[in-house]
Structure 1
């Protein structure tokens, strides 16, 4: 989801820096999606690279990884900065939940930061309008959706492992089965009768 959030921020006029898990992903974000800069969180120079990519600090951090990436961004957050938490993939396969939030709490207080969790379900009443806006941006060439779709339930375990390892590019999904013939026509008939 980060690749979409970054593009939406770019469309709104923000200078966008992406944090990825590979050089290949960095290139895609810069060359195909218009990010200003990117850094690889697996690089031995990640913290220095991030600091160089954000010389004026960070106003908004969209976080779907957590862990060391969040720890690296915290000192760079500007006063009154915001953190949007959408996921913690760095912890999904950990043996136990992460311990301690002392530095996070200190940073939140000292810099008057705002941190909020984000679930798409919180915005269901606005889903239709959001879909129309996103479609218009995509149709206009301002938004590129990257999808990595795997077929069949049997592919789900491998897809999850690859996602946790950072091996996918874009939104990773598992298509359980192809649409049966005539299914879409039946759905449209049902929806039009409601």
Structure 2
């Protein structure tokens, strides 16, 4: 009951904003608080789709490289195991230690490549949000808002104050028009 009353109380001042909301690109919302889904903003923007596509392609290449390395190491391990009966335990231990070191180094190198790929994506998000900030600030002023909050941080709100789709449209347009599509 209390939750229903809270929802009714919070949505009442926004009823006018719901009726005023226009199509993506236009903004007639009048609200002191707006929400945005920052993840969706990045992922559905032209820039975000391009970066994610590039990172996914590089990730697929890395996965294929990992499979090739794993296959090669498997063959090397089998050869080492087959060699065991023909050499002394000391010689085998030396070869086994060298193989183990090779495996550990390879694992570290491949893990570093995966981290680099994740860092590339996170850095691209920051670059995008920095480039998008002026557009979001303009939308905030147009709506008479004092704050734009991450949608996931809001307990309850009206969908009328979510500007994500409109922001994607505007950001794509502004960045393309200005020729300022961010570079990583």
TM band (smaller chain): under 0.3
Higher relative contact order (CA 8 A, sep 6+): 2
What is the TM-score normalised by the length of structure 2? 0.19
What is the TM-score normalised by the length of structure 1? 0.18
The structure carrying a bigger strand percent of its residues is 1
